[in-house]
A = this chain, B = another copy of it.
């Protein structure tokens, strides 16, 4: 392995390290690119969630065609089934699911807290039983890093403790301090794995002081990127935005910032406005499986009877072929009858809309027109549906 960040031979350059370059700012909104050995990721970026080694109801190339440049994989789900050791033997997650581009994996912590049974958390880590078959597992900061490396993850997240809100300040602080100590252990375990990135996670609930302490503590340790955890867990949007306002001044401007598990289109707009670069969320795909379609004119519930006889497509002026191709009457028929094709089409439509939104934000930041773009975009959503022609 070369010591230079790029290995170049016969005109072919292979990036061997993770890097982030910020190219534009517009207010607090940032335009940049993350470079990894598996490809570049233009930011602000939305990462579709491939929970169990598949973005539900889509072939990998269909996900790619929406514009996605990176996927998120769930460590908790993958360590349970099919197992991290098995995926490693099979060549890693990219080969396993036939997705060649970068993958970010979470630490498993969040799903352990929300899905697993019989959790026991102490300084060392968390022991729990699988929600599927009751098998006992242990997850420590070190084991989480090890699993994520076995998965061949490109962006690795530290193990943290994410608590439910509302909570007592003392409890929020305890979990935040534990997460900081786990951050330190994660950094040690990560051991500068070449070509991979390690992100720390800011905790501290809805307490601004604790959020700031967490951010400062993480920056002291030093990470390739900084995530904001413990949000999008049911709190109002203004609480989330206020936490972001508090945290971002404490984060280095030359590292990517990732808001975990967020969100709806309007959340993305507001968070990019506040200096966030990366997002993931199951919402668009899940909403699609339930018959809800994202459009520039708002969310359309295709199960609604008003679409039964409507020969118009979902959105006539969409850049996405599927949004122009099938009639609303057909989509109503598919979703009402729970046909798999309905889930396939609307998963694609929603992930494509999210990528369209991100691409729009990226261009707007480049042009210094983010506010204008945000206002126009919100104006479109406020219409509620495509105008009747």
Which residues on A are within 8 Å of B, measured CB to CB? 52-54, 56-59, 81-82, 86, 89-91, 96-98, 308-309, 311, 325-327, 329-330, 332-334, 336-337, 339-341, 343-344
Contact = CB atoms under 8 A, between A and B. Distances in A.
A52 B332 CA distance: 12
Nearest to A97: B330
A341 to B, nearest CB: 4
15 contacts: A53-B334, A54-B334, A56-B340, A57-B341, A81-B336, A82-B332, A82-B333, A90-B309, A90-B311, A91-B311, A96-B333, A97-B330, A98-B325, A98-B326, A340-B344
Question: Quick one: copies of this chain in the complex?
Answer: 2
A59 B349 CA distance: 14
A98 B331 CA distance: 12
A28 B118 CA distance: 67
A90 B52 contact: no
B340 A57 contact: yes
Contact of A86 (B81, B308, B325, B343): B308
Contacts of A330: 53, 90, 96-98
| Leading 7 A-B pairs by shortest Cβ distance | A57-B340, A54-B341, A82-B333, A54-B339, A90-B329, A52-B337, A96-B330
Nearest to A329: B90
Contacts of A334: 53-54
Given A82-B329, A308-B86, A333-B82, A341 B56 contact: yes
